[in-house]
């Protein structure tokens, strides 16, 4: 019995070691392709939200305790624009990441959704071309919008950003991420310290979040 138990233990240990080695090898094989894919996605997003540029230099910021990356794009030695990789944790499905492009003067060039796990057919429409959210800010200087406490807000919260139908939470998250991008852009463009950009928009206790069609987003 002792001999059998010992043999089983040795065999199981051997299997564990082989499996661990296999996982390590797979990880080594996939790390570089994953990193390359991520870099390619970033480059594609930069091209989507910036005017024509030759190169970019990145700068890391922390706003509202969240990591933000600002890419300063140049062309012919002059600043062509700024792209901000921003995020929020206020989405209906969790984290939402955006790439927001600004001209040197602060006009929003475009917004690209990098990551979202919102409700299909509702919050996911934030990634659709020409959706109400991006249409409310694209080609505009945000300081000229109808601001609430100095920040962008959806119409339901007193601002003038049109929300996605039946997706108020997702829309607020999108706007929250853009506010953070705006603060980051102003910080880098002016050389000032970044301000907090949390929207502070909350759902009143007596106002249900249920939207059209009985959905709870």
Q: Cα 41 vs. chain centroid, distance in angstroms? A: 13
- pLDDT of 38 > 90? The answer is no
DSSP type of residue 195: P
For 55-103, give the DSSP string. EEEEEEEEETTEEEEEEEEEETTEEEEEEEEEEEEEETTEEEEEEEEE-
- DSSP code string of 16-35: HHHHHHHHHHHHHHHHHHHH
- Segment 50-94, tens digit of pLDDT: 999 999 999 999 999 999 999 999 999 999 999 999 999 999 999
Chain position carrying tokens 């790390």: 31
166-211 residue pLDDT tens: 999 999 999 999 999 999 999 999 988 887 765 443 333 333 343 4
Answer whether 109's CB lies under 8 Å from 103's CB. Answer: yes
Span 122-166, pLDDT tens digits? 999 999 999 999 999 999 999 999 999 999 999 999 999 999 999
Furthest CA-CA distance within the chain: 82
Residue 212: which pLDDT band, with cuts at 50, 70 and 90? very low
Task: Give helix then strand counts, H and E, for the chain.
Answer: 3, 5
Q: Please, which pLDDT band fits residue 35 given cuts at 50, 70 and 90?
A: low
pLDDT value for 185: 97
pLDDT digits (tens, 9 = 90+) for 14-29: 788 777 777 777 767 7
């Amino acid at each position: 019995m002792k001999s059998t138990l010992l043999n089983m233990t040795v065999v199981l240990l051997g299997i564990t070691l082989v499996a661990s080695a296999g996982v390590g090898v797979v990880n080594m094989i996939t790390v570089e392709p994953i990193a390359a894919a991520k870099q390619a996605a970033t480059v594609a997003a930069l091209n989507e939200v910036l005017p024509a540029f030759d190169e970019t230099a990145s700068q890391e910021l922390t706003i509202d305790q969240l990591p933000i990356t600002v890419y300063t794009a140049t062309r012919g030695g002059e600043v062509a624009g700024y792209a901000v990789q921003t995020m929020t944790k206020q989405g209906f499905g969790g984290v939402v990441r955006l790439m927001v492009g600004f001209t040197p003067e602060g006009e929003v060039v475009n917004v690209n959704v990098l990551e979202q796990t919102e409700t299909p057919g509702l919050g996911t429409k934030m990634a659709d071309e020409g959706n109400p959210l991006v249409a409310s800010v694209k080609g505009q200087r945000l300081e000229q919008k109808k601001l609430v406490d100095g920040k962008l807000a959806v119409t339901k919260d007193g601002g003038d950003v049109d929300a996605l139908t039946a997706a108020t939470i997702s829309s607020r998250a999108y706007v929250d991420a853009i506010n953070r991008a705006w603060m980051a852009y102003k910080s880098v463009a002016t050389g000032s310290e970044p301000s907090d950009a949390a929207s502070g928009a909350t759902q009143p206790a007596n106002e249900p979040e249920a939207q059209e069609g009985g959905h709870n987003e």
